[in-house]
């Protein structure tokens, strides 16, 4: 009898197209799910008959309570090599092997700049006006050359965002709790004296930090109040780094020029979520990692993970 493998959140229905699953054909039945399961009860019922689950990023939590309800589950594969919503101790206790995949940092860099440029030049508003017979030129674009880009975080993604900013002729500064002057100079940017100074001085602020106890709620009402009324905030990292209610208030009250957001407190967003209708907001449905090459890696490595598990030698084990 073949094992059954569930592929979660395959919204574009491409998981079985971007990678070659044929090496598993004799041993594994692959079943993609193109819709999201909104709660643990629904998810547990849907996955009850599966031996293997492939989950996309950190959208679906696998707490101890869920793992205990999946007695057939033996292999859980998460895209990327870091996942904060899987209870690894519970997985081990129930005999579930957890593996990851490689993940490229370039797609979120590119999306960061798509959001930033879209905001700066009013791309969506102008395009919609052109297509709908609206006014010809109704916005005045914000220049990038000579303006200041402030980066919260200067890791793999932040440093690449910095390089693009420098190529645009921007002044680039960065800050994080552990960032050193030597690291900033290595990337070619200035180390801000403090988070507050970075926010106060920047025309564009982009967040590239991992979510942790130290970064959760890092930007709240007091921090957002430091931004210039002409400044833009970009978040392609994690929603919880910015207090969502405080961000919505700043947008509705026009205290910042706008925000570009790819991450949300609930994903997928409910139809009535206030982020769907907030003014001055350019929002995308968590597209940071969604690219052809990245998906080919995710699902190609998932096939390799399953093959290795079946051979008795799991690879890319987490945590």
pLDDT band of residue 12 (cuts 50, 70, 90) is very high
3-state SS track over the chain: CCEEEEECCCCCCCCCCCCCCHHHCCCEEEEECCCCCCCHHHHHHHHCCCCEEEECCCCCCECHHHHCCCCCCCEEEECCCCCCCECHHHHHHCCCEEECCCCCCHHHHHHHHHHHHHHHCCHHHHHHHHHHCCCCCCCCCCCCCCCEEEEECCCHHHHHHHHHHHHCCCEEEEECCCCCHHHHHHHCCEECCCHHHHHHHCCEEEECCCCCCCCCCCECHHHHCCCCCCCEEEECCCHHHECHHHHHHHHHCCCCCEEEECCCCCCCCCCCCHHHCCCCEEECCCCCCCCHHHHHHHHHHHHHHHHHHHCCCCCCECC
Active-site residue list: 238, 267, 286
Kindly tell me if the per-residue pLDDT of 211 is higher than 90.
yes
Q: Render pLDDT for 297-307 as a digit per residue (tens, 0 to 9).
A: 999 999 999 99
Kindly tell me if the per-residue pLDDT of 228 is higher than 90.
yes
Query: What's the pTM value of the predicted model, to 2 decimals?
Result: 0.95
Residue-averaged pLDDT of the chain: 97
pLDDT band of residue 1 (cuts 50, 70, 90) is confident
- Compute the average pLDDT of residues 116-129: 98
- Compute the average pLDDT of residues 174-189: 97
Q: Render pLDDT for 52-72 as a digit per residue (tens, 0 to 9).
A: 999 999 989 999 999 999 999
Kindly tell me if the per-residue pLDDT of 106 is higher than 90.
yes
pLDDT band of residue 279 (cuts 50, 70, 90) is very high
- Compute the average pLDDT of residues 163-179: 98
């Amino acid at each position: 009898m073949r094992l059954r493998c569930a592929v979660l959140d395959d919204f574009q229905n491409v998981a079985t197209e971007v990678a070659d699953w044929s090496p598993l054909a004799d041993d594994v039945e692959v079943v993609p799910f193109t819709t999201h399961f909104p709660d643990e009860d629904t998810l547990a019922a849907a996955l009850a008959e599966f031996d293997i689950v492939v989950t996309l990023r950190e959208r679906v939590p696998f707490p101890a309570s869920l793992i205990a309800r999946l007695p057939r589950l033996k292999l859980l594969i998460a895209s990327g090599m870091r996942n904060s919503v899987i209870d690894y101790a519970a997985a081990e206790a129930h005999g579930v092997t957890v593996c990851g995949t490689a993940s490229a940092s370039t797609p979120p860099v590119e999306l960061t700049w798509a959001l930033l440029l879209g905001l700066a030049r009013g791309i969506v508003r102008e395009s919609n006006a052109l297509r709908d017979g609206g006014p010809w030129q109704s916005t005045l674009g914000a220049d990038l050359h000579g303006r200041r880009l402030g980066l919260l975080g200067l890791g793999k993604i932040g440093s690449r965002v910095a390089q693009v900013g420098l190529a645009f002729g921007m002044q680039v500064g960065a800050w994080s709790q552990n960032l050193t002057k030597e690291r900033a100079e290595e990337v070619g940017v200035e180390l801000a004296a403090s988070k507050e100074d970075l926010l106060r001085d920047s025309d564009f602020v982009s967040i590239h930090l991992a979510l942790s106890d130290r970064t959760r709620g890092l930007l709240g009402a007091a921090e957002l109040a430091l931004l210039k009324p002409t400044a833009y905030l970009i978040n392609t990292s994690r929603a919880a780094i910015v207090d969502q209610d405080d961000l919505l208030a700043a947008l509705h009250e026009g205290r910042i020029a706008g925000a570009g957001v790819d991450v949300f407190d609930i994903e997928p967003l409910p139809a009535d979520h206030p982020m769907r209708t907030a003014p001055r907001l350019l929002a995308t449905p968590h597209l940071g990692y969604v690219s052809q090459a990245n998906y080919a890696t995710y699902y190609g490595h998932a096939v390799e993970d399953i093959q290795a598990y079946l051979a008795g030698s799991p690879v890319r084990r987490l945590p």
